[in-house]
């Protein structure tokens, strides 16, 4: 018998095996047992079906609330494809993504409704507002009108798309990554394995669920009967309160959140150990030491949305775990080894041959296995380029050390990763070029103590034109999300170029990172 693989089966198991156990808690809000959570899944799935959206693309725009978490199971359980949206974008950016993904129904938290209501109306998209306030009451009424009895999982093809997750990449328009039921189940299983989660685990949603489906965290803890604690607003005091109140044992976070937790004005000593998976950029040795001193156990993982999203782990032996922080931290800072179900992860040269394990020879990280995306939605050319030669090309330039550990040295995509958010330098440059005073614009990453790195714009103005940093920031902010706005501007008469006229970004980036290593994950 061949039953299609799907992460929904993890949720089904949780509902079946642990009916009376607490499944989901929202601080200051409701809590649900697995039996109650399953009923809500089946109610929302039936509501989506009865509204005529089975098989359609359904978007969710929500912070980490219990209603937002519900959509990751209920929408695919209805036979629809979920399109998670970043909560930090502008109406212009939402308009593109909703149109490109051909969304027919939008489930939006009441706190974000004003950003998308006009866009949704212009595109004829049906909108259901979720939340605890008056605006969300109709959503609960809609669920209450539906049967809460068990609904069979409708998946007949494990290679069917379960989510379309947008990633900035390096082009001016984001790409919609199609992840399959098979992709996401295998990722969820290896997440459980490396995270060492079980029925006594309590998982805190500090990582935005829209980030590649919370790295699988929207499904995997359900499979072992763990408890989810949703955190709509990620602040250090909120996280610490939740950790102590609900007995949190696990969380995922970008290094910026680790910085929040270790801030001397906010840090608290834990009364029990908490496992932390981090990605976005390798944590500094000081951050690891500070986290350890507080009672957190940090493990670095690496991946991209296109690989479901995790493929390597900075796995340590027992002997390495016992090393002093100064010796252990450099090992954790490397991307490490391929994960259990990642398939082949290697550093390759231009001829698709593995580079020597010498810690110095540069190549590109490539992946071949069951976690590779189905493709970019409505973008066959980009899909073909990404999968050229039968390997997924990550765009990350790295070395392999003699012990087999992979370590990123640079990024050939020039993506800026700020606080775990991907920022396309080309996208920002395109907006800057639209300013009438700008003749040339190059955007690169510059170091930042809080965010790891932020955009810096090198600008050459047209003769006789004037523009201040405030002028340019206001211009960019009118088109893009605030986190994409350059934090610093350098004005030059001319910008460095190759003989063929291409900008030499590495020269400008080198000025900003002189004497420092740029660590990008």
Radius of gyration of the chain from its Cα atoms, rounded to whole angstroms: 23
Q: Predicted confidence band at 283 (pLDDT cuts at 50, 70, 90)?
A: low
Angle at 395 between CA 392 and CA 396, to 5 degrees: 110
List C-alpha distances in Å: 266 to 242, 246, 261, 263, 451.
14, 19, 7, 5, 17
Chain region(s) in the chain for CATH 3.30.300.30: 415-512
* Tokens matching residue 404: 């087999």
pLDDT 10s digits, 191-205 = 999 999 999 999 999
Fold of 343-411: Luciferase; domain 3 (2.30.38)
pLDDT at 325: 79
Q: Would you say residue 153 has pLDDT above 90?
A: yes
> In this predicted structure, what is the pLDDT of residue 386?
96
Q: Is pLDDT above 60 for 169? A: no
| pLDDT surpasses 70 at 281 | no
Lowest mean pLDDT among 1-15, 164-178, 435-449: 164-178
Q: In sequence order, what are the residues at sequence separation of 6 or more whose Cβ sits closer than 8 angstroms to the Cβ of residue 324? A: none
Distance CA 39, CA 271 (A): 35
CATH 3.40.50.12780 domain locations along the chain: 8-253
| Confidence at residue 498, expressed as pLDDT on a 0 to 100 scale | 55
pLDDT of residue 340: 96
pLDDT at residue 280 tops 80: no
Rounded mean pLDDT of 241-256? 94
DSSP assignment string, 459-508: EEEPTT----HHHHHHHHHTTS-GGGS-SEEEE-SS--B-TTS-B-HHHH
264 or 104: which leads in pLDDT: 104
At residue 285 the predicted structure's pLDDT band, cuts being 50, 70 and 90, is low
Average pLDDT over residues 20-44: 98
Give per-residue pLDDT as tens, 48-60: 999 999 999 999 9
Question: Does pLDDT of 171 surpass 50?
Answer: no
pLDDT digit string (tens) for 407-435? 887 666 677 889 888 787 878 988 998 89
Q: How large is the average pLDDT for residues 32-53?
A: 98
Assess whether pLDDT exceeds 80 at residue 517: no
* Neighbouring residues of 65: CB distance < 8 A, sequence distance ≥ 6: 26, 29, 109, 130, 131, 230, 232
Q: What is the pLDDT of residues 82-123, one digit of tens each?
A: 999 999 899 999 999 999 999 999 999 999 999 999 999 999
Average pLDDT, the chain: 93
Q: Look-up: residue for tokens 């050229």? A: 388
pLDDT value at residue 168: 63
For 9, phi and psi rounded to 5 degrees? -70, -30
Name the pLDDT band for 268 (thresholds 50, 70, 90): very high
What's 119's DSSP letter?
H
Domain 415-512 class in CATH: alpha beta
Q: Where are the beta strands (DSSP E) in 50-181?
A: 57-61, 81-84, 103-109, 126-130, 161-167, 175-180
Dump pLDDT digits (tens) for 305-323: 999 999 999 999 999 999 9
Task: State the pLDDT confidence band at 284, using cuts at 50, 70 and 90.
Answer: low
3-state secondary structure of 306: helix
Would you place residue 170 in the very low, low, confident or very high pLDDT band (cuts 50, 70, 90)?
Answer: very low
Instruction: Specify the pLDDT at position 412.
Output: 66
- Give the per-residue pLDDT at 381: 95
Distance CA 442, CA 422 (A): 17
Is 70 exceeded by the pLDDT of residue 165?
yes
Q: What is the CATH number of domain 8-253?
A: 3.40.50.12780
Beta strand pairing call for 227-230 and 202-205? parallel
Is a pLDDT exceeding 60 seen at residue 500?
no
Q: CATH 2.30.38.10 occupies which residues in the chain?
A: 343-411
Least confident of 8-12, 280-284, 374-378, 479-483: 280-284
pLDDT score of 375: 98
The pLDDT value given to residue 345:
98
Please tell me which residue, 462 or 393, carries the higher pLDDT value: 393
Span 154-177, mean pLDDT? 84
- Identify any residues that bridge with 455 across adjacent strands, giving them in sequence order: 445
Binned at pLDDT 50, 70 and 90, residue 462 comes out as confident
Least confident residue range of 17-26, 64-73, 271-280: 271-280
The mean per-residue pLDDT over the stretch 278-290 comes to 74
Q: What length is written for the chain?
A: 521
Average pLDDT over residues 195-223: 97
Order of strands, edge to edge, in the sheet holding 126-130? 126-130, 103-109, 57-61, 81-84, 161-167, 175-180, 375-376
Say which residue, 404 or 285, is predicted with more confidence.
404
């Amino acid at each position: 018998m061949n039953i299609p693989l799907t992460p929904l089966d993890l949720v089904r198991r949780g509902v079946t095996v642990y009916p009376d156990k607490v499944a989901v808690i929202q601080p200051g809000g409701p809590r649900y047992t697995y039996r109650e959570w399953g009923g809500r899944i089946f109610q929302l799935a039936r509501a989506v079906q009865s509204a005529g959206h089975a098989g359609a693309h359904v978007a969710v725009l929500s912070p980490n609330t219990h209603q937002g978490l519900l959509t990751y199971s209920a929408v695919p359980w209805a036979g629809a494809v979920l399109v998670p949206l970043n909560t930090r974008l502008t109406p212009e950016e939402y308009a593109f993504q909703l149109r490109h993904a051909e969304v027919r129904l939008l489930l939006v938290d009441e706190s974000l409704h004003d950003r998308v209501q006009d866009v949704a109306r212009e595109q004829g998209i049906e909108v259901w507002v979720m939340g605890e306030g008056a605006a969300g009451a109709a959503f609960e009424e809609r669920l209450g009108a539906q049967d809460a009895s068990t609904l069979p999982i409708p998946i007949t093809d494990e290679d069917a798309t379960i989510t379309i997750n947008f990633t900035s990449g390096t082009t001016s328009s984001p790409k919609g990554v199609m992840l399959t039921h098979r992709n996401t189940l295998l990722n969820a299983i290896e997440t459980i394995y490396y995270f060492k989660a079980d029925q006594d685990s309590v998982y805190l949603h500090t990582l935005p669920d829209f980030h590649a489906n919370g790295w699988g965290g929207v499904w995997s803890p359900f499979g072992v009967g763990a408890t989810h604690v949703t955190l709509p607003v990620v602040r250090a005091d909120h996280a610490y309160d939740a950790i102590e109140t609900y007995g949190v044992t696990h969380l995922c976070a970008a290094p910026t959140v680790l910085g929040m937790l270790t801030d001397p004005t906010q840090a608290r000593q834990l009364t029990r150990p908490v496992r932390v998976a981090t990605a976005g950029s390798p944590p500094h040795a000081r951050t690891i030491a500070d986290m350890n001193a507080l009672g957190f156990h940090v493990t670095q993982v690496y991946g991209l949305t296109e690989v479901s999203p995790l493929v390597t782990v900075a796995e340590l032996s027992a002997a390495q775990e016992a090393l002093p922080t100064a010796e252990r931290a450099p090992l954790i800072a490397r991307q490490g080894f391929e994960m259990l179900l990642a398939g082949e992860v290697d550093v390759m040269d231009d001829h698709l041959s593995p580079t020597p394990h010498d810690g110095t020879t540069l190549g590109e990280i490539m992946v071949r296995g069951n976690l590779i995306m189905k493709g970019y939605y409505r973008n066959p050319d980009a899909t073909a380029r990404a999968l050229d030669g039968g390997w997924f090309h990550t765009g990350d330039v790295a070395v392999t050390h003699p012990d087999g550990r992979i370590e990123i040295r640079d990024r050939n995509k020039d993506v800026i990763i700020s606080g775990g958010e991907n920022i396309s330098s080309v996208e920002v440059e395109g907006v800057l070029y639209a300013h009438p005073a700008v003749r040339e614009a190059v955007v690169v990453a510059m170091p930042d103590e809080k965010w790891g790195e932020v955009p810096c714009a090198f600008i050459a103005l047209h003769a006789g034109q004037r523009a201040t940093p405030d002028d340019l920031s206001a211009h960019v902010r009118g088109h893009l999300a605030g986190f994409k706005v350059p934090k610093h501007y350098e004005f030059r008469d001319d910008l460095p170029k190759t003989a063929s006229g291409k900008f030499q970004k590495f020269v400008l980036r080198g000025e900003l990172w002189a004497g420092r290593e740029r660590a990008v994950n």
